[in-house]
Chain A
Amino acid sequence: MAPASTSNAIQVDDLTVAYDFKPVLWDIDLVIPEGVLMAIVGPNGAGKSTLIKSILGIIKPIAGSVKVFGRPYSEQVSKVAYVPQKGSVDWDFPTTALDVVMMGTYGSLGWIRRPGQKEKKRSLEALEKVGMLAFKNRQISQLSGGQQQRIFLARALVQDALIYLMDEPFQGVDATTERAIINILKELRKSGKTLIVVHHDLQTVPEYFDWVTFLNVKSIASGPVKDIFNDDNLTKTYGINYKVAVNK
Chain B
Amino acid sequence: MTSAQIEIQLIASLVAIACALPGTFLVLRKMAMISDAISHSILPGIVLGFFITQDLNSPLLIVLAALTGVVTVMLVEFIQRTKLVKEDTAIGLVFPALFSIGVIMIAKNANDVHLDIDAVLLGELAFAPFDRLVAGGTDLGPKSLWVIGSILLISVSLLLLFFKELKLSTFDKGLAATLGFSPVILHYGLKTVSSVTIVGAFDAVGAVLVVALIIAPAASAYLLTDDLRKMLILSCCFGVFAAISGYWMANLLDASIAGSMSTMLGLLFLLVYLFAPNRGVISVLVRQRRQQLEVALLVFLLHLQNHEEPEERHVKHLQEHINWQKVQSERVLNLATNNNLIKITNGVIDLTGKGRQFTAEALNYITINKETAIEDLKEQFFLFRG
Residue interface mask B195-238, A partner, CB < 8 A = 1: 00000000000000000000000000010011110110000000
Chain B residues whose CB sits within 8 angstroms of the CB of A93 once the complex forms? 28, 170-171, 228
Least distance between B58 CB and chain A CB atoms (Å): 32
Chain B residues whose CB sits within 8 angstroms of the CB of A62 once the complex forms? none
Interface positions, chain B 310-332, Cβ under 8 Å from A, are none
Chain A residues whose CB sits within 8 angstroms of the CB of B227 once the complex forms? 94-96
Q: Is B370 an interface residue (CB 8 A)?
A: yes
Q: Is B180 an interface residue (CB 8 A)?
A: yes
Least distance between B266 CB and chain A CB atoms (Å): 22
Chain B residues whose CB sits within 8 angstroms of the CB of A90 once the complex forms? 28, 30, 171
Contacts A77-B178, A95-B226, A176-B370: A111 and B165 contacting too (C-beta < 8 A)?
yes
Q: Is B162 an interface residue (CB 8 A)?
A: yes
Contacts A96-B227, A114-B164: A107 and B370 contacting too (C-beta < 8 A)?
no
Least distance between A189 CB and chain B CB atoms (Å): 21
Q: Kindly identify which residue among A95, A96, A107, A139 contacts B179, using a CB–CB cutoff of 8 Å.
A: A107
Q: Is A146 an interface residue (CB 8 A)?
A: yes
Chain B residues whose CB sits within 8 angstroms of the CB of A53 once the complex forms? 174
Least distance between B237 CB and chain A CB atoms (Å): 16
- Which of A81-89, A121-129, A217-225 contacts its partner? A81-89
- The contact size tier of chain A is 20 to 34
Contacts A95-B228, A96-B226, A144-B371: A89 and B178 contacting too (C-beta < 8 A)?
no
Q: Is the CB of A89 within 8 A of B180?
A: no
Q: Is the CB of A107 within 8 A of B228?
A: no
Q: Is the CB of A147 within 8 A of B171?
A: no
The closest CB in chain B to the CB of A109 belongs to: B164
Chain B residues whose CB sits within 8 angstroms of the CB of A114 once the complex forms? 163-164
Interface positions, chain A 185-213, Cβ under 8 Å from B, are none
Q: Is B282 an interface residue (CB 8 A)?
A: no
Contacts A95-B228, A107-B179, A176-B370: A84 and B174 contacting too (C-beta < 8 A)?
yes
Q: Is the CB of B222 within 8 A of A94?
A: yes
Least distance between A49 CB and chain B CB atoms (Å): 11
Q: How far is the CA of A95 from the CA of B370 in the complex (A)?
A: 25
Q: Kindly identify which residue among A57, A106, A139, A174 contacts B168, using a CB–CB cutoff of 8 Å.
A: A106
Q: How far is the CA of A111 from the CA of B158 in the complex (A)?
A: 12
Chain A residues whose CB sits within 8 angstroms of the CB of B28 once the complex forms? 90, 93-94
Q: How far is the CA of A115 from the CA of B165 in the complex (A)?
A: 11
Residue interface mask B358-372, A partner, CB < 8 A = 1: 000000000000110
Least distance between B35 CB and chain A CB atoms (Å): 19
Q: Is A80 an interface residue (CB 8 A)?
A: yes
Chain B residues whose CB sits within 8 angstroms of the CB of A109 once the complex forms? 164
Interface positions, chain A 67-92, Cβ under 8 Å from B, are 77, 80, 82, 84, 88-90
Q: Is the CB of B168 within 8 A of A103?
A: yes
Chain A residues whose CB sits within 8 angstroms of the CB of B370 once the complex forms? 174, 176
Q: Kindly identify which residue among B30, B172, B180 contacts A103, using a CB–CB cutoff of 8 Å.
A: B172
Q: Is the CB of B162 within 8 A of A107?
A: no
Chain B residues whose CB sits within 8 angstroms of the CB of A96 once the complex forms? 226-227
Chain A residues whose CB sits within 8 angstroms of the CB of B170 once the complex forms? 93
Q: How far is the CA of A155 from the CA of B170 in the complex (A)?
A: 16
Q: Is A56 an interface residue (CB 8 A)?
A: yes
Residue interface mask B153-189, A partner, CB < 8 A = 1: 0000000011111011011101101111100000000
Chain A residues whose CB sits within 8 angstroms of the CB of B165 once the complex forms? 106, 111
Chain A residues whose CB sits within 8 angstroms of the CB of B171 once the complex forms? 89-90, 93, 95, 100, 103
Q: Is A2 an interface residue (CB 8 A)?
A: no
Least distance between A151 CB and chain B CB atoms (Å): 11
Residue interface mask A97-120, B partner, CB < 8 A = 1: 000100100110111101100000
Contacts A96-B227, A147-B371: A88 and B164 contacting too (C-beta < 8 A)?
no
Q: How far is the CA of A119 from the CA of B255 in the complex (A)?
A: 53
Chain B residues whose CB sits within 8 angstroms of the CB of A56 once the complex forms? 177-178
Q: How far is the CA of A88 from the CA of B179 in the complex (A)?
A: 16
Q: Is A58 an interface residue (CB 8 A)?
A: yes
Interface positions, chain A 121-153, Cβ under 8 Å from B, are 139, 144, 146-147
Show 17 A/B contacts (Cβ-Cβ < 8 Å), sorted by A. A57-B178, A58-B177, A58-B178, A89-B171, A90-B28, A93-B170, A96-B226, A96-B227, A103-B167, A103-B175, A106-B164, A106-B165, A106-B181, A111-B165, A111-B181, A114-B164, A147-B371
Residues in chain A within 8 A of chain B (CB atoms): 53, 56-58, 77, 80, 82, 84, 88-90, 93-96, 100, 103, 106-107, 109-112, 114-115, 139, 144, 146-147, 155, 174, 176
Closest 3 CB pairs of A and B: A107-B179, A139-B226, A82-B178
Query: Known contacts A103-B171, A107-B180, A109-B164; can you find 8 more A-B pairs with CB under 8 A?
Result: A56-B178, A90-B28, A95-B227, A106-B164, A107-B179, A110-B180, A114-B164, A176-B370
